Amino acid sequence: MARSALTGTRVRERRQRIGLKQADLARAVGVSPAYLNLIEHNRRRVGADLLASLAEALGVGEAALAEGADSALFEGLREAAAGAAGAEAGAAESAPETDRIEEFVGRFPGWAALLAERQARIGAL
């Protein structure tokens, strides 16, 4: 299973959402809080065994942590970026940074979903 560079961000987001302290999660999966902190800030990669332990402790599937958002969300954001780039031809400095879509989704999942949903509505018009 491929693990993206933002697995740690998803671990942190899920941990915070369920109200679990970092030290408690670290204890549950058998790592130090300092090491978990490095993982959550994407400074250490997560091995397969640790990913399985984290997913179990957080009550999610491994794929949700490792792969992040589904492809439909990414595609919706790419369409929104393409539409914005076409509408603002000549404004290269304000063009959407399509190479950072996964980071955007990882850091702002609500905004990303809203933007993709709005793009789908625009496309349906």
CA 55 to mean position of chain CA atoms: 15
Q: How far apart are CA 29 and CA 105, in angstroms?
A: 26
Under DSSP, the state recorded for 95 is S
pLDDT tens per residue across span 7-58: 898 899 899 989 999 999 999 999 999 999 999 998 998 999 999 999 999 9
Name the band, by pLDDT with cuts 50, 70 and 90, for residue 87. Answer: low
| pLDDT at residue 93 tops 80 | no
Per the CB < 8 A criterion, the answer to whether 33 and 22 are in contact is: yes
Q: How far apart are CA 119 and CA 109, in angstroms?
A: 15
Domains observed in the chain:
7-66 (1.10.260.40), 71-124 (no CATH)
